[in-house]
Amino acid sequence: MNLRDLIDGLLEISVVGSFSRPGYLARRALFGWADPGPGTLADRTVLITGPTSGLGRATAEAFAQAGARVILVGRNAARLQRVRGELIERTGEDRYPIVVADMSDLASVRAAVTEISRSESKLDVLVDNAGAIHEQRTETADGLEATFATMVAGPFALIDGLLPRLEASGDGRVISVVSGGMYLQPLPLDDLQFEQGDFNGTLAYARAKRASTALVREWSRRYQGRVRFFAMHPGWADTPGLAESLPGFYGFMGPLLRSPAEGADTIVWLATADPSEAPDGRLYLDRRPRPFDRIRSTRLSAAQRRLLWDRVVAMTDAPEASG
């Protein structure tokens, strides 16, 4: 092990050093990361869910600056238009179509799939970023708990519907944005909808992120060689979602939080990294694979991941995934 790997490993063990801004800056300096220059992604089409604030917005800006065509998918048309206008103003390019869709509503997701499939012959990158924390348990029109619907079922249906366009790329990639908070939470497969006990929005969020990570591993196993799947967590980033959901933590950690752009860095890197540098089916932080689990009791076995897959397929009636 060389000195750089040793320092990186020590940062990872410390958690605070790994997830914070100092950890990001230390790794960037250690490994001499390069960023894609203007126009280097001009041949890529990237779809981002939840692109109007926080990590999603920073991701959209980074891809646009690198020349990519960026499809902005969100539920608020006015906010999507505002982001689109700002991207056009910054780049001088009009390559940022918007698609209005609510990821918690399967009918809305299917309509988005139809719209995108009609307009796009291929899709190079799909960034599954949309998320939400709810104070109270609510169910969607599909009868799903809203957090799980937004962050697991909806993205699953979106990915499933767009698999033909991702395969048409020849190098299609799906990047699911998860959270380090999932490390502390097991995923109860007998209570995916949080029907048991008192509802906790932050806990539901962490469970949904753990489910997303497990599904990335299953997507990768089942579609190896056709589409590449990754999970990434951004560390502790200064986003509106963090400020609203964990105000105490946000206030205490404020000076150590990463900027949204720093949190989004690994997303952009995964979109272009060579397979030798970034094997798929893994969880990444700061451009390197990281453990799926830090606590043994939260670990899902291969059989449990398959069970989760089957249950989400049943919830979403996903034709590609069930085939």
* Pick from 303, 319, 265: nearest CA to 117: 319
Name the pLDDT band for 243 (thresholds 50, 70, 90).
confident
What's the structural domain count of the chain?
Answer: 1
Q: Are 219 and 160 in contact (CB under 8 A)?
A: no
308: exposed, middle or buried (Cβ count in 10 Å: 0-12, 13-18, 19+): buried
Q: How many CA atoms lie within 13 A of 227 on its CB side?
A: 29
Q: What is the mean pLDDT of the chain?
A: 94
Q: Give the span between the Cα atoms of 237 and 260, in whole angstroms.
A: 6
pLDDT per position as a tens digit, 50-101:
999 999 999 999 999 999 999 999 999 999 999 999 999 999 999 999 999 9
Q: By three-state DSSP, how is residue 95 classified?
A: coil
State residue 181's pLDDT score: 86
What value does the mean pLDDT take over residues 186-210? 94
Share of the chain above pLDDT 90, in %: 81
Looking at the predicted structure, is the pLDDT value of residue 222 above 80? Answer: yes
Share of the chain above pLDDT 70, in %: 99
Q: Give the span between the Cα atoms of 72 and 101, in whole angstroms.
A: 10
What value does the mean pLDDT take over residues 303-309? 97
pLDDT per position as a tens digit, 145-158:
999 999 999 999 99
CATH code of the domain covering residue 40: 3.40.50.720
Domain containing 177 equals: 3-322
Q: What is the identity of the amino acid at 297?
A: S
Looking at the predicted structure, is the pLDDT value of residue 8 above 80? Answer: yes
Rounded to 10°, the helix 3-14/21-31 angle is 170
Name the pLDDT band for 322 (thresholds 50, 70, 90).
low
Looking at the predicted structure, is the pLDDT value of residue 46 above 90? Answer: yes
State residue 194's pLDDT score: 95
Active site residue ranges: 205
State residue 285's pLDDT score: 97
pLDDT per position as a tens digit, 248-285:
888 888 889 999 999 999 999 999 999 999 999 999 99
State residue 240's pLDDT score: 82
Q: Give the span between the Cα atoms of 216 and 205, in whole angstroms.
A: 17
State residue 1's pLDDT score: 66
